[in-house]
Amino acid sequence: MLFITSNISIADSEIEFSAVRSQGPGGQNVNKVSSAIHLRFDIRASSFPEIYQQRLLQLSDHRITKEAVVVIKAQRYRSQDKNRAEALQRLQALLQSVTHNPKIRRPTKPTRGSQLRRMDKKAQQGKKKIMRSKPSLD
The whole model's pTM is what? 0.66
- What is the pLDDT confidence band of residue 31, given thresholds at 50, 70 and 90? low
- pLDDT tens digit sequence for 55-104: 888 888 788 888 888 888 888 888 888 898 999 899 888 888 888 888 89
Mean pLDDT of 122-128: 96
pLDDT of 103 reads 87
In order of their start, the domains of the chain are 2-99 (3.30.160.20)
More reliable by pLDDT, 129 or 56:
129
- Residue 36 burial class via C-beta count within 10 angstroms: exposed 0-12, middle 13-18, buried 19 and up: buried
